[in-house]
Each structure stands twice: as C-alpha cells, then as structure tokens.
Amino acid sequence: MKAKILFGLCLWSLAVTAPAITGPAIIPQPEKIAVKEGVFALTSNTEITCFGNCETEAQQLATALRPATGFKLPVSPIGSLVKNREITMLLKTNQLEKFGAEGYELNVTPKNIGITAATEAGLFYGGVTLRQLLPPEIFSSNKVTGVKWEIPCVEITDVPRFQWRGLMLDVSRHFFTKHEVEQLLDVMALHKLNTFHWHLTDDQGWRIEIKKYPKLTSAGAWRGGVGFGLATNSTTAYGPDGRYGGFYTQDDIREVVAYAATRHITIVPEIEMLGHSLAALAAYPEVGTGTGPFVVPLKGGVNPGIYSPAKAETFEFLQNVLTEVFELFPSKYIHIGGDEVPKGPWKNDEACQALMKREGLKNEEELQGWFIRRIEKIVNSHGKTLIGWSEILEGGLAQNAVVMDWIGGGREAASQGHDVVITPTSHCYFDYGQSRDTSAEPRSIASAMGRAIASPTT
C-alpha cells in the first residue's frame, strides 16, 4: 500500500506568521491567481447558467448570494436565456487529470464569470472563491444596502494541495446542538475544508443514539454539571433533571450527514475505545475492566476504567455499536481513538493477564495492539478503514490502519506503508494557547493550566 501524508486539523492554531498577501484575500490562497483590469458588477439581472450535471451547485451559489444582495438570481440548466451579465458553471468531466477531484478554474471579466471543474465539488469550491472575491458584506445574513457588489477581474487556477483538509469537534466534553454543528459545517465549507471529524464519545459524554443499547444515551450522555471550572449559566444544555449533556438521535445524525454532503464534506465519526470510555462503562459496566463504579466525570482522570479485552461480550458490544454507526455514516473511515489508555486496570485483572499469557503478549502495550487488531477486523468486514491516534502504534500497528499523528509516530507509520493524517498539537489545536499570555484568551486547556501550550513563534 502506498502511504500518503494527509493534512488534518484538530481546531487549527493560527500561530504561524503568514507572508503579506497582495491582491484579493482568498482562503486558502489559490495555486495560481492573476489580477486583471476591471470588475464584474453583480446585479439583479445576472443569471447563473450551468452546463453539465451541476444545477445543484448553481442553485447553492444563487442561494448563498441572495441574503446580503437581495438578488434572486435565476438558474438556467442549459443557459438558454442569457441576460446582460452571466455567471457560467461548466462541468468538464474529461478534465479530471487537470483539475483532480476538487480543483477548478475561475475567470472573471467585466461581462461574465466562468467556473470550470471536472467534478461538482470543484464547481462548489469555485463558487466559494467567487463569494470571497465580493465585498465582505456578502456574508451578511440580512440584506445590505449601499454596497457595490463588484468582483475584481481575475484568472484563478486552484487545485488543493492536501487531500484531507479536516476539522475536529469534540462534543463529548462540551455539547453542541445540531444547529450549531451545521453552522460549523457552513464555516468549514467557506474555508474549503472537506472532512469533519466528529468526536462523539469520551469519558464525559456519549452523544450518539445506539438503539440496541439505550442506556448509552439515557445514562452516558449526562453528567452532574458542566464541569471544567465553567459557570453553570455558561450553557443551556441541561436536561429536565438538571444534569448537563445531550445527544443526537439517529435521525439527527442522518440530517447532519446529508447537510455536510451538500457542502462536499465527509463526516468521520470517532467512537472512542479503549480509554476515554467511562461514559460507555457507566451505562454498561459489564464490558469494562477496573474498580468501578464507573461514572460520567466532570473532567478526566477519575475512576480508571477501560474496556476488557478478556470478555467476549466486550467485542459483541462494540461490534453492535459500530454496526449501527456504519449504517449512519457513509464515510470509508471510522475513528476509534486509542489514545491515552490507562493500562493499570489490565495489570490488576486476572482475566486480562491470563489472556496475555495465552496469546503470548509480553506487556499491556501488546495487549492494546491485539485489541485494536480485533476491532480492525470488524471495521474491515464492513468495508471501512480504521483510524486511530498516535498511540495505536503501541504493541504493533493494525494491518490497514490510518494513523492520526498528534504526538508523533507519523513518520514511522508512513515508512511502514500506512496513510497518516498530520495533526500536531503545536500547530493544530485551538484549545491550546495562542499567545504567551493566555489571560486575555477564552478559557481553554492552556488557561486552565496557567500557561501557553502551543508556541506562538513556530
């Protein structure tokens, strides 16, 4: 298998000093851009025409331009009615080698605009760039008056450098409503990010409905308070009994997946295992190893407990959970966590020690690798690919696994032929400090520890 180094984003840190930008401000900067003389004036007489199977993208562009301008731009699928000014979207499926799956060309003249791509995704991103070329008021959700809706004449060729352009949201520690998640997807699309890593389970909360195991949400989705040193009135995510939390029904998940798909965003769910599993064990302690009783904590580091690899019911439980997850997410990838596993419970468990002896495993790290490889067989049997954090390298990497490198190991995994998603803590974490003085920043893991964790000089 040929390894690819992919680029991930665990809430991107903007601590890098960027070069001065001249010309139109486009995020991310396109591969090639040439600024020409003149402007295209967007008016109520402008029409959007589309050639090829791209009416959906044309309608999306018209919908995106309407709130701020007030223009209800007509969309013609065959361009039969050309008015004074026109935006043309042209799908050239025979140009895949030139544009790839997401590239596009955007040409703006005083009389017309042309967006050309080999796929619908490329046309969508061309439309995003077109919006960025307009005055910033274009992103208003209400009609704006007194603005000249002019687009500078440019020639742009843009093919993304990275195949995986992702952002991770952890909804376990802090719950986000479905509407808030969809708002985040809108912002991702505006920045041409194509992968949403949805961290749905952790110690502090289980956020996805699993019909076979209802206690995962009735018990595992709630905790005694918001925790993390936050004021109780900093959130409204409380149930009728006053507990903090929430979860997404399977219908909610389907709606968000569909919403993301129209923005050419793939959702990769994360279902944590081995560690970070107290919410699951609080609901179903019989699949765990540890002293118990397991509770959903207000923060991490309490009631050490992890899944038991020595119990057949553990793998039955996880297979049933993953089967329902696979039915909800069409992504080829499933993230299973695998980080920061507290192995103490295994050291003190007779059944786990007997399993290690029986399987010829030298230590608990190899037991973790044995567990991950068993989970990978379940994942692969459904035609999916397993992703895990750096620590899945411990005890031997599963055969087809992808490593999400947050603390190292990416180079090692790639040298073994595995794909790698790069998410270094020093550059890719919003919840780390963005300056040397975190007192002026929103509360984060950095401010909680009283120091900046990410270096502002790198």
> How distant is the alpha carbon of residue 127 from its chain centre?
21
- 340 is an active site residue: yes
What beta strand segments (E) does 92-149 contain?
104-108, 112-117
d(CA 13, CA 220): 31
CB contact at 8 A, 174 and 225: no
pLDDT at 16: 34
Reported as a single tens digit per residue, the pLDDT across 224-256 is 999 988 899 999 999 999 999 999 999 999 999
End-to-end alpha-carbon separation of the chain, Å? 33
Other Cβ atoms closer than 10 A to 434: 20
d(CA 398, CA 391): 12
Question: Which residue of the set 137, 155, 324, 340 is catalytic?
Answer: 340
Question: Which residue of the set 202, 209, 405, 419 is catalytic?
Answer: 202
Q: In sequence order, which residues have a C-beta less than 8 Å from that of residue 268 and are 6 or more positions away? A: 166, 195, 196, 197, 198, 329, 331, 333, 334, 335, 387
Q: Identify the bridge partners of residue 334 per DSSP, sorted by sequence position.
A: 386
> How distant is the alpha carbon of residue 436 from its chain centre?
28
pLDDT beyond 50 at 265? yes
Pairing of strands 201-202, 205-206: antiparallel
Q: In sequence order, which residues have a C-beta less than 8 Å from that of residue 452 and are 6 or more positions away? A: 432, 433, 434, 435, 436, 437, 438, 446
Given the structure tokens 């008056």, which residue do they identify?
145
pLDDT at 438: 75
Other Cβ atoms closer than 10 A to 39: 16
Closest CA relative to residue 236, chosen from 186, 306, 179: 179
Reported as a single tens digit per residue, the pLDDT across 377-401 is 999 999 999 999 999 998 888 889 9
pTM: 0.92
φ, ψ (nearest 5 deg) of residue 281: -70, -30
Q: Is 279 exposed, middle or buried (0-12, 13-18, 19+ CB in 10 A)?
A: buried
d(CA 132, CA 255): 27
Reported as a single tens digit per residue, the pLDDT across 295-341 is 999 876 556 789 999 999 999 999 999 999 999 999 999 999 999 99
> How distant is the alpha carbon of residue 335 from its chain centre?
11
Q: Measured between alpha carbons, how far is residue 64 from residues 48, 56, 135 in Å?
A: 13, 12, 14
pLDDT at 96: 92
Question: Which residue of the set 197, 199, 264, 276 is catalytic?
Answer: 276
pLDDT at 395: 85
Residue 447: band (very low, low, confident or very high) from pLDDT cuts 50, 70, 90: low
pLDDT at 15: 31
What beta strand segments (E) does 235-300 contain?
244-245, 266-273, 288-290
- Sign of the Cα pseudo-torsion (114, 118, 124, 130, in order): negative
Q: Identify the bridge partners of residue 196 per DSSP, sorted by sequence position.
A: 167, 267
Read off the pLDDT of each residue in 112-118 and give the average, rounded to a whole number: 95
Closest CA relative to residue 124, chosen from 57, 26, 70: 57
Angular region, 368: left φ>0, alpha ψ -120 to 50, beta rest: alpha
- Give me the chain's average pLDDT, please: 89
Q: In sequence order, which residues have a C-beta less than 8 Å from that of residue 155 and are 6 or more positions away? A: 32, 33, 34, 36, 105, 106, 107, 108
- 197 is an active site residue: no
Q: Measured between alpha carbons, how far is residue 173 from residues 298, 322, 381, 431, 441 in Å?
A: 8, 21, 31, 12, 19
Reported as a single tens digit per residue, the pLDDT across 278-308 is 999 999 999 999 877 899 998 765 567 899 9
